[in-house]
Structure 1
Amino acid sequence: MDALPVNPVMAYRYKAELLAKDYLLDVPYAAVLAGILMCKLAYDFMRFISSFHYKGYASLTKMQKVEWNNRGMSTVHAIFITVMSVYFVFFSGIFSDQLDGPITSRSSSLSSFALGVSIGYFITDVAMIYWFYPSLGGMEYVIHHILALMSTVYAMVSGEAHLYIYMGLITETTTPGINLRWFLDAAGMKNSKAYLVNGAAMVVTWLVARIIMFMYLFYHMFVHYDQIKQMDTFGYFLILVAPAIIFVMNLIWFSKILRGLKKTMTKRH
C-alpha cells in the first residue's frame, strides 16, 4: 500500500509543537527568559520613574544612571527571590526531614521556576558587569555572580540541591539595603540620618542573612552529609566549594561594612 502523502503545513506545525513542548513551555527554560524579561522591564521602569519623579536623576553622569537603573533591577530580583527562598526553606515543607527520600533530590515546578528567574537575572547582571567593567563591580562581583550562576544552573537542570541553593539565595535579603545606601550617596544624602540608619540595618541584615544563615547551611550540610554524598560528582564538589568561597567573601565584605559604619558614626560625633 502506498504511503499517504505528508502535508508540509501539518509537518511544520508538528515540529513547532514539539519545539514548544521541549523548550518554550518547559518551566525552567521559560523561567530563564522570564527572568531576563523581568530585568529589562525593571531597568526601563527605574529609568522612566526616576526621570519623572527625581529631579537629581538628570544631573547624574551617564554611568551613574546606568548603575542607578541596574540597582533598581537588582532590588526587584532581590525582593522576589528573598520571598521565594524564605518560603521554600522555612514554610513549604518540601524539604522536611519527615518526608521520604534524600533532601538533595527534592524539587518542584515552582522551585525550578524561581531558580530559572534568578538565572535570568544573573545572566543579565553578569553581562552588564562585563560590558561596563569595572564600573558596575570588580572581580569579586564577577566571581560571586559566576559561582551563584553555576550553582543555580546546576540545581535547575539536575533537580538537585534546591534547598541549599535557596539557603544561599536568602543572602539577597541584603541587596535592597545595599542599593538604598548607594542611592542615598548618589543623591547627596551621605550625612543624613537615613544614611546612618541604613548602615546599621545593613549590619544586622548582613549578619543574619550572610553570616548566621551560612553557618546554618553548613550545619545542615554536615547533618545530611550522607545524602550529599549521593549527588553527582560535579554537584557534590560544587555544593561544598561554592558556599565556602562565598562565605569567605561575605566575611570580608562584612568587615568593610563594619568599618564604614564606624567611620560614619565617628564623623557624626
Structure 2
Amino acid sequence: MAATFDQLIIGITIASFAVFQFLFHFGSSWLSAIISLGFRSLGKEQKIEWNSRVASTVHALLAGVFGLYIFCFDYAVNADPVWGDATLVRINVAITAGYLISDLQLILWYWKIIGDVYFIMHHVAVLYAYYYVLSQGLLPYFANFRLLAEFSTPCVNQRWFFEVLGYSKSSKLNIINGLTMTIMFFLVRIAVMPVYYNQMVSTFGTEGFNRIGRGPQCVWIICSVSLDILNIMWMVKIARGCYKVFYFHRKIKINSQDKVKLQ
C-alpha cells in the first residue's frame, strides 16, 4: 500500500508540474486574451511575468481551498498533528511541489525577466521541508497550515495585474484590492501565528515529537520561525503601502473638494 501510494504521490507531482507548464505556455495566454483586452497589448517580457503570475494564482487558490477543507474536515490530522493520517495533506503538498518545481524551471529559464534569488531560496527551502511530508508523512497538520497562507497570493498578483494594465493607484479597484490584500495577508499569515505556535509548543516533549528525529525537528522549527520573520517584514511593507494609497486618495479627494469650493 505504501509503495503504491508513493507512486501516486510521484504521479501527482509530475502531473502538477505538467499542468502548470501547460498553463504558463498555453492556457494563460489563451484565457487572458479573452478576459483582459489589455493583455494583447503587453510586451513579450510582461506577458511572461503575467503568465507566471496566473499560474501562481491558480496554484494558490487550489492549494488554499484544498488546505482549508483538510483543516476543517480531516479529523485524523487535527487529532494527531505530528503523525496523523497524511493522505490528503500529501496529495495537496504533491500538487504544491509540482508547482514549485515548475516555477523554479521557469525562473531559471527566464532569469533576466523573472529571476529572483529570494524565490530560488524560498522554493528550494520549501521543497526540502516538504520532502519530509511527502516521504514520511511527518507533521501533516503544520504542513497543511502553511498552505492556508496561499490565500493572500491572488491579491498580491492582482496588484501587479492592475499596475501593468495602467490602473491608477487611486482607482477604486486598486484600493479595494489593496485593502483586501492587507486584510487577507494579516489573517492568513500574521493573526494565525499564535494558533500555529501554540500547537507547535504543545507537541514538544511528546512521544510523537521525539520520534520524528532531530533533523526534521530542526528543519521544522527553523523554517517556521524564518518564514514568519519574513511574513512580519512583508506585513509592515504592505501596511505602509496601503496607508500611502489611502492617504494619497484622501488628499486628492480633499484637493478636489477645495477646488469645487473655490469655483
Question: TM-score, with normalisation over the residues of structure 2?
Answer: 0.86
Q: Which amino acid aligns with 1:214?
A: M
Structure 2 partner of 1:204: 183
For the residue of structure 1 that corresponds to 2:82, the secondary structure is: helix
Per-residue deviation, 1:239: 0.8
Larger Rg: 1
CA drift of 1:96 comes to: 3.4
Paired residues for 1:104-143 under 5 Å: 104-133=82-111, 135-136=113-114, 138-143=116-121
Alpha-carbon distance, 1:137 to partner: 5.4
What is the distance in 2 between the residues matched to 1:167 and 1:186?
A: 32
> 1:188 aligned to 161, 166, 188, which one?
166
Q: Give the distance between the partners of 1:213 and 1:155, measured in 2 at CA.
A: 21
Residue aligning to 2:14? 33
The CA distance in 2 between the partners of 1:65 and 1:185, in whole Å, is 13
Distance (whole Å) between structure 2 residues aligned to residue 80 and residue 151 of structure 1:
20
**C-alpha separation between the residues in 2 aligned to 1:106 and 1:211?**
25
Quote the sequence identity (%): 23
1:8 maps to none
Aligned residue number for residue 228 of structure 1: 209
Cα distance between partner residues in 1 of 2:4 and 2:157: 35
Measured in 1, the distance between the counterparts of 2:191 and 2:115 equals 25
Query: 2:32 matched to 1:54?
Result: no
Match of 2:126 among 133, 140, 148: 148
Gaps of 5+ in 1: 1-20
What's the CA shift for 1:209? 0.5
RMSD: 2.1
Aligned to 1:214: 193
Is residue 76 of structure 2 the alignment partner of residue 94 of structure 1?
yes
Separation in structure 1 between the aligned mates of residue 115 and residue 196 of structure 2, nearest angstrom: 27
Post-superposition offset of 1:63: 1.4
Measured in 2, the distance between the counterparts of 1:186 and 1:212 equals: 31
TM-superposed deviation, 1:80: 0.9
Aligned length, in residue pairs = 245
Match of 1:238 in 2: 219
Q: Give the Cα–Cα distance (whole angstroms) in 1 for the partners of residues 112 and 70 of structure 2.
A: 34
Q: 1:215 to 1:125 in 2, by over 3 A?
A: farther
Query: TM-score, normalised on structure 1?
Result: 0.84
Q: Which runs of 5+ in 2 are unaligned?
A: 251-263
1:75–1:179 contact (8 Å) kept in structure 2? yes
